[in-house]
């Protein structure tokens, strides 16, 4: 959409055409009116363009959703046509069954209740030899990885330990089968390399036997990105200097705009003044507010002030060099 920019001469002709010449004061008033009109026209154009962009984006998203729904229907139809696995299948039958499921289900994300996962569960333990090549091929096999721990039997110990480094998803199966101690170093290496991690976090306490193990996990929290799920694990470690840990993690992670908020909130809660300012600014910025879940409650708790941008920002900027956190109340106070 194009908007018309009214010229000074044009507006003057419209307003005073056929009349006597305007006074200097009228000229000034007309100039201001012209400027206001052109600003309003520009704003209308910008609003119109923004609306069209949003509308186009919404239509595109709707088309993508519709195509995804069509793909899911087609995949579901293909899955339903796959014959059930026999009660005591051969390795060849297992491979053929698996290949059909993987081909029919595509690469879309799935959960444990997805049809393809339920079908893979029917394979049962005892066929790890047949499954490993698919896990090593480097192709998307999310459904198989999701169900894999249920497909490992006590007889597979040697096979699991031999392939654990190459197939990190086997780590959960190893721990669940009670082989965690035999695989401790390999599993810690997997975590430290960042190859696999989130699913292992609930089992970390079973692998932690001494101070050296605890230090490795703390260092993982500090140095690797998006390690927030580790925080509940390390928080319970004995003799942990949580203030030091939070300060180090915040210093290490604050340059990553996507994940810094979670570290800033924890550091602020244990007294980091810089992190507190980061939380205040980020929470009140519409562009980043969603990255600070729970920051509203935290800021009220830490400051005792109302949740108002001007109030909190002014208070912080005025007092940031004099702030400290009281141990008993857990609230920031000002050094008098």
- Taking alpha carbons only, the member of 321, 316, 285 closest to residue 302 is 316
pTM: 0.65
Find tokens 């990105």 and name the residue. 225
pLDDT tens, position by position, for the chain (336 residues)? Answer: 444 554 555 555 555 555 556 677 766 777 777 777 777 777 777 777 776 776 666 666 655 454 444 446 666 777 888 888 888 888 999 999 888 888 887 666 677 778 888 888 889 999 999 999 888 876 667 888 888 899 999 999 999 999 998 888 899 999 999 998 899 899 888 888 876 667 788 888 888 888 999 999 999 899 887 788 889 889 889 889 999 999 999 999 999 888 899 999 999 999 999 999 999 999 999 999 999 999 999 999 999 999 999 999 999 999 999 999 998 899 999 987
Q: What are phi and psi of 58, to 5 degrees?
A: -65, -40
Q: Give dist(CA 267, CA 251) in Å, integer.
A: 9
- Taking alpha carbons only, the member of 47, 44, 32 closest to residue 4 is 44
Q: Where are the domains of the chain?
A: 1-54, 70-81+89-151, 241-336
Q: Give dist(CA 141, CA 102) in Å, integer.
A: 7
């Amino acid at each position: 959409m194009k908007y018309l920019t009214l010229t000074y001469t044009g507006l003057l002709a419209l307003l005073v055409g056929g009349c006597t010449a305007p006074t200097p004061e009228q000229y000034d008033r007309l100039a201001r009116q012209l400027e206001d009109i052109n600003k309003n026209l520009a704003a209308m154009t910008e609003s119109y363009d923004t609306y069209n962009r949003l509308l186009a984006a919404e239509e595109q998203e709707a088309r993508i959703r519709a195509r995804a729904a069509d793909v899911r229907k087609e995949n579901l139809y293909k899955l339903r046509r796959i014959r059930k696995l026999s009660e005591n299948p051969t390795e060849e039958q297992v491979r053929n069954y698996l290949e059909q499921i993987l081909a029919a289900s595509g690469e879309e994300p799935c959960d444990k209740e997805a049809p393809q996962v339920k079908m893979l569960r029917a394979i049962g333990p005892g066929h790890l030899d047949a499954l490993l090549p698919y896990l090593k091929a480097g192709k998307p096999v999310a459904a198989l990885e999701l169900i894999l721990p249920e497909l490992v039997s006590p007889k597979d110990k040697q096979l699991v330990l031999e392939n654990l480094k190459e197939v990190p998803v086997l780590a959960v199966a190893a721990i669940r089968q009670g082989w965690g101690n035999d695989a401790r170093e390999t599993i810690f290496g997997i975590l430290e390399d960042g190859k696999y991690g989130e699913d292992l976090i609930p089992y970390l306490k079973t692998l932690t036997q001494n101070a050296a193990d605890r230090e490795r996990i703390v260092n993982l929290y500090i140095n690797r990105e998006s390690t927030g799920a580790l925080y509940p694990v390390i928080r319970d470690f004995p003799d942990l200097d949580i203030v030091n840990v939070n300060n180090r993690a915040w210093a290490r992670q604050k340059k990553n705009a996507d994940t810094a908020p979670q570290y800033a909130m924890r550091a602020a809660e244990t007294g980091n003044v810089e992190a507190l300012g980061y939380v205040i600014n980020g929470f009140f910025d519409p562009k980043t507010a969603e990255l600070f879940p729970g920051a509203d409650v935290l800021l009220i708790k830490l400051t005792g002030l109302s949740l108002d941008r001007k109030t909190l920002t002014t208070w912080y900027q005025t007092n940031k060099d004099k702030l400290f956190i009281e141990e008993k109340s857990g609230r920031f106070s000002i050094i008098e």
